Amino acid sequence: MSLSGKVAIVTGSGRGLGLAYARELARQGAAVVINDVDAEVAAEAVRTIEADGGKAAAVVAPVGNTEVAKQLVQAAVTEFGRLDILVTNAGILRDKSLLKMTDEDFDAVINVHLRGTFTCVREAFAYFKENGIAGRIITIGSPTGQRGNFGQTNYAAAKAGIVGMVRTWALEMKKAGVTANAVIPVAATAMTKTVPYFQKAVEADERGESMPAFFRHGLGFGTADDVSGLVAFLASDEAAGITGQAIGAGGDRLQLWTHPEAAATEYREGGWRYKDLVANFGPLFGGKLQSVGEEFLPLPEELQPEARPAQNQPLPAKVG
């Protein structure tokens, strides 16, 4: 087991994707600190990992503030003697279109996703640096942070911000031998049961069957276990040379996302004034404007849900 002797924290790991990540890390030999806001859910996650033959302990607290971040790191050291891996998975949703989104909706999502990632990573890196540990930081992004999604201003801002922080941390942590990467998952969770587009995929998964190839291969949509292998790999010594990356996983698909780069560049001596842009922007850049959101092919007839929704709906970020 490649992670034998390692200790990991996985925030938001009582159920769903977070639990899948924690179980895979444990299968690879790591002791795991489970984190959830529900004490019974956290306790059940610990029992599940122990039943698999792994080691686990739980911290019941909402991530966001520095005190909880310190508590998580201290739990790893107290329970298992050290810390090597941090996976920042905790998150919530408060989906509303812009004019309906309140300050509270925005702040709640930013606090858990973005601030929670920041505070936990800061504490983990301080521990790594103080103890000379070449640790692993694995954050969880989303297709929404990469492409945008209707009704998710807060979530898109948080997930895009996480990837931005990862690029910065890769620079700041390099000398210490610590890596920082973002995983962009697209996987079935309890939330996808409410999305008609994915109905046949979720039903197949619940029956213990493989999802149809249209989903697994065509859309890169799969199970939590399809993502957990990437998390464990990035936590391993084999991934020591990988840092500052955004890597997508789902179904049969693995993706390395590009960093933002200029799609087109033009120069004009003396700079670009208003009248120059009016006259030239369309001819120079009109055909090179970038798309937003996710687009999907219509479902094949045999994969249509019972109540057919409108086609070409954007992928809900809830799936990852």
Q: How far, in Å, CA of 58 to CA of 36, rounded? A: 8
Residues 90/116, Cβ–Cβ less than 8 Å = yes
Say how far residue 234 (Cα) sits from the centre of its chain: 13
State the Cα–Cα distance between residues 188 and 202, nearest whole angstrom.
Answer: 6
Look up 274 and say whether it is catalytic.
no
What is d(CA 265, CA 47) in angstroms, rounded to the nearest whole number? 56
Q: Tell me the angle at which helices 153-173 and 116-131 cross, rounded to the nearest 10 degrees.
A: 10
The answer to whether the beta carbons of residues 101 and 154 sit under 8 Å apart is yes
Catalytic option among 21, 127, 155, 197:
155
What is the C-alpha separation between 15 and 13, in angstroms, rounded? 6
How far, in Å, CA of 308 to CA of 318, rounded? Answer: 20
In which element (H, E) is residue 36 found?
strand 31-36
The catalytic site residues sit at 155
